Amino acid sequence: MALAVEARRSGVWDHDLVSARAQVSAALRAMHGFSVDEPVSYKQWLLALDKTDRRRLLSYNEELFRGGTEFNFEYRWCHPATGERWLVATGRMVRDAEGRPGCLIGVNRDI
* Mean pLDDT to the nearest integer, 72-101: 94
Dump pLDDT digits (tens) for 27-42. 999 999 999 888 888 8
Instruction: State residue 49 phi and psi, 5-degree precision.
Output: -70, 150
Output the pTM of the full model. 0.84
End-to-end CA gap in the chain: 18
How far, in Å, CA of 69 to CA of 94, rounded? Answer: 7
How far, in Å, CA of 89 to CA of 75, rounded? Answer: 8
Identify the band that residue 61 occupies on the pLDDT scale cut at 50, 70 and 90.
Answer: very high
Identify the band that residue 98 occupies on the pLDDT scale cut at 50, 70 and 90.
Answer: very high
What pLDDT is stored for residue 45 in this prediction?
Answer: 85
What pLDDT is stored for residue 6 in this prediction?
Answer: 52
